[in-house]
Structure 1
Amino acid sequence: MPKRGYHHGNLRQALVDAALELIESRGPTGFTLSEAAKQAGVTPAAVYRHFEGREDLIAEAARQGYEIFADLMEYAYDSGQPSALASFEATGRAYLAFARKHPGHYVAMFESGISINRTADLALAAGRASAVLEKAATELSEHIPPEKRPPAAMFSAHIWAMSHGVVELFARGEAGARAPFSPEDLLESGIGVYLRGLGLVPPDE
């Protein structure tokens, strides 16, 4: 693969972009800092002006991924207004869209073993993303009697886990290889079952 090169003053981002390509093709532990430097078209020594090690480079890729993810989630949430249900379902679909469009970021965020608390900026970006789904859950759960209402954080965590499971099992790799249904249909029906159980969707809808 030819060297990517970089504009003066943008070496840090060139290294992140190189790492994302390597993460996508080899996984988060399948490359070295020297290989990331080579991919970016710079010397290995140049990397250490910006990152102390591979984990720091991956953490920055994850942080940028969470920023993109949060933007997508916020857009999805806003696009569903004024219906709390539509906003909630839209955030689930945004999860699938993100995993498909940004596989390198997705792996850096969820499969690299990098803690979201590794840096303050990473934790902040991750928190912004989860806050969108929790806000959608809070608004939707207002229709549940208080004594039967699950905590919004638990509510949103259930949907996050369901979305993540659909991505991992059915949305990655060869399309249709594991299920005769689309990931979108699987997630929509799963959310529907969950919401019916909470009494938020009529049984005959």
Structure 2
Amino acid sequence: MFYYLDGTVAELLPYLAVIDCGGVGYACKTTNNTLSALKKGQRGRVYTYLNVGEDLFDLYGFATQNELNSFKQLIGVSGVGPKAALAILSIGTPETLAMAIVTGDEKSLTAAPGVGKKLAQRIILELKDKMSKDVSSGLDFSGGRGVPAPAMFASKATEAAQALAVLGYSSQEVSAALKGVDVEKLPLEEIIRQSLKKMVR
């Protein structure tokens, strides 16, 4: 229904940003990261997600599409509601979430209020499994050289691709972003960082 809201930031409250668009204040539930990116009284834009249910009509807003995509991925996991998803995305960035899933880092997820060990394990298991299926086909690890990368480097590229897929990028977008990135020499985090720079929307 709403793709984004662009207007004056009227209020910033814990987990809530109010965006004034043409005299109408839209209350968007959000994360600490988005709140820190907005300034009261100044123009701001948030990418939105509308959660509609029998007794629900909640609007969520995020400063970046990466954060919105990560939110959607999280609430797609059984047992993860919007509140838990916001908590997870408030203690780190979408990139750190992606790294946690790819590396199986439960501790970084359980640092979020209300997220226990079992839920963290489920998030990692479900998203990692989903991402490995999504990105295992159609990826080109030749780096634009036309020569397939050795298996050990392709594996590192696959991990990077899985992390990027957590942020909502398609296998075609991931393949294009990985081309030209030195997967042989760079650490995983740097591969992800450089790829993201090429895909900034």
What is the TM-score normalised by the length of structure 1?
0.31
**Structure having the higher Rg:** 1
- The structure with the greater share of residues assigned to helix is 1
Q: RCO (CA 8 Å, sep 6+): is it higher in 1 or 2?
A: 1
